Amino acid sequence: MIRRALAGLAVLVLTSGCSGVKGTDDLEYVGGDGKVVEVAKDKREDPVEISGETVQGEPLDISDLRGKAVVLNVWWSGCGPCRSEMPMLVDAEEELGKDEVAFVGINIRDLAPENAAAFEDDRGVDYPSLYDPGSETLGSLGKYETRSVPATYVLDTEGRVAALMNGPVPSKSTLVTLVQDVLAEKG
């Protein structure tokens, strides 16, 4: 029943033209609208092509994670909702495991990668985060590009946007269910 309601919401959002959210070009905080949008498998766009350097200085290419569901979380250490949801994301990663799911952050606002890395260390984050203070990588998300923080995407095993949470993740169970639904598509 919840899945059906979310699917209806996704159709409403997609048909109303609300999928192209932009902002923070002037680096002001723009919060998300809290909507959860699921994209039907036959309506998904091309795979997301995002690569860059992590806050730890390591190279990372999302295409190397194909075959796994990927949770992409757009964040900034000065964002209150980002700080609040980070422990839940760490818990969700632990619950889902790393065999079929990869978590990746995209830090879009910290002025130095060391600040972002310290934020992750303080919160027990062990998954990588791309350092992208200019938000260039977000353009690779096509019509689902957002500049609001936080924002969380679930990519299917082919690397396509399957779901978007524009704003804080409503709950760990919402995120886990979205990822499990994507994984169920394989079988």
For residue 155, count other CB atoms closer than 10 A to its CB.
27
Place of tokens 């980002």: 82
d(C-alpha 89, C-alpha 120), whole Å: 12
Helical axes 2-15 vs 172-184, angle rounded to 10°: 90
Task: Please name the residues in contact with 70: beta carbons below 8 A apart, sequence gap of 6 or more.
Answer: 62, 101, 102, 103, 104, 153, 154, 155, 159
The pLDDT value given to residue 88: 97
Question: What residues does each domain of the chain span?
Answer: 2-184
Highest mean pLDDT among 4-13, 27-36, 121-130: 121-130
d(C-alpha 121, C-alpha 109), whole Å: 17
Place of tokens 């910290």: 110
Confidence label for 175 from pLDDT (cuts 50, 70 and 90):
very high
- Tell me the CA end-to-end span of the chain in Å, nearest whole number: 22
pLDDT per residue as tens digits for the range 24-66: 444 444 456 778 999 999 999 999 999 999 999 999 999 999 9
The pLDDT value given to residue 32: 63
The pLDDT value given to residue 19: 31
pTM of the model: 0.82
Choose the CATH number for 2-184 among 3.30.1540.20, 3.30.1540.10, 2.60.120.10, 3.40.30.10.
Answer: 3.40.30.10
The pLDDT value given to residue 142: 87
User: Rounded to the nearest 5°, which phi and psi values hold at 106?
Assistant: -130, 105
